[in-house]
Amino acid sequence: EAEVAQSPRYKITEKSQAVAFWCDPISGHATLYWYRQILGQGPELLVQFQDESVVDDSQLPKDRFSAERLKGVDSTLKIQPAELGDSAMYLCASSLAPRAGAYEQYFGPGTRLTVT
């Protein structure tokens, strides 16, 4: 069964360092989402791609976060510099198309980030 791949699974970094996460969506899924999940809360969208274009990055802290999906396939989310408040689970999801709710989103295992 096809799955969304993410790496690394765990990352510990010091404050002010740079960190990057990678996501490979299910083959053929045009839409890719990055969510952040703080401990004890539900996930919140950071950025959404349709193919290689950003559809929604309204909740992305653009002073320190960046995301790209250059060829419309895999994607990288970067934080520079990391802050203590960035400690969270970063989840990647993909779906066939963006039409709201028409397709379920499939989630990867996540990257658990700890900033010390």
Binding site for another protein (CB under 8 A): 31, 33, 35, 40-45, 48, 55-56, 89, 91, 93, 95, 97-110, 112
Tokens of 3: 């799955």
Residue 64 DSSP label:
T
State the nearest-atom distance from the C-beta of 16 to another protein, in Å: 26
According to DSSP, the β-strands at 111-115 and 10-13 are parallel
Which residues have C-beta within 8 Å of that of residue 104, sequence separation ≥ 6? 95
Q: Residue 85, SS3?
A: helix
According to DSSP, the β-strands at 88-95 and 10-13 are unpaired
State the nearest-atom distance from the C-beta of 8 to another protein, in Å: 13
State the nearest-atom distance from the C-beta of 62 to another protein, in Å: 17
State the nearest-atom distance from the C-beta of 74 to another protein, in Å: 18
Can you tell me the distance from the alpha carbon of 69 to that of 53, in angstroms, rounded to the nearest whole number? 8
Nearer to another protein, 28 or 101 (CB): 101
